[in-house]
Structure 1
């Protein structure tokens, strides 16, 4: 048996815009610095938050350069 609010949740998803604004999803945009481990386009990228407090909380990302793309270029 489905929960009572299952129907309203389905309607909510159907009414949601196909391309919502990130702030509507609860996301906050932050500025992060990108550091390349090598000068060529291979190797790893390190993403560091510009806010020092976040860095102290160990907020950072290390990713293979081939796994990263700029989503603005994909629109």
Structure 2
């Protein structure tokens, strides 16, 4: 029974985002997306989390990703 309690706590506790800037590959893994192209499509359509370029590399602030997730949840509840 103790293992069930631990699993229930793990499900109830939101996952913390890393404290570093996220890459498109990080978003693919976090959201189980089909490919990194999905992240780039979001960027082109301006539908995904806000990102920024560091040279030729795309990065995402974890706070912006969290805000985007919350906005998606609010839209889904409507």
Same fold (TM over 0.5): no
- Considering fraction of residues, name the structure with more helix: 2
Bigger RCO of structures 1 and 2 (CA < 8 A, at least 6 apart): 2
In our comparison, the structure showing a higher alpha carbon Rg is 1
